[in-house]
Amino acid sequence: MRSGIHPVSRPVVFRDRAADTAFLTTSTAPSARTIEWADGNTYPLIDVEISSASHPFYTGNTRVVDTAGRVERFERRYGRQS
């Protein structure tokens, strides 16, 4: 591996603003903001809009789309072709 061409991987805190949770992981993403973590160390902070803590797929809060109602409304509007 050549030296000097790879980004530095370091511990970073990702904070999900929607779910009010934070994750400590490694990343190469830059950040000027910092936060003090539970272990007493200070880490760079990156705020994210959505994560596994707030995403509907992971939380099980998915929306059900009523496709049958949409088909019936289309048939009422344009008539059923025989």
Task: Tell me the DSSP string of 15-34.
Answer: EETTTTEEEEEEE----S-E
Average pLDDT over the chain, rounded to whole?
A: 83
Task: Give pairs for 33-40: CB < 8 Å, separation 24+.
Answer: 37/13
Radius of gyration of the chain (CA): 23
Query: What's the pLDDT score for residue 64?
Result: 58
Token digits for 17? 């603003």
Query: What's the pLDDT score for residue 53?
Result: 77
Token digits for 27? 């990343």
pLDDT digit string, tens, across residues 20-45: 889 999 999 999 999 999 999 999 99
Per-residue pLDDT band for 82 (boundaries 50, 70, 90) equals: low
pTM of the model: 0.63
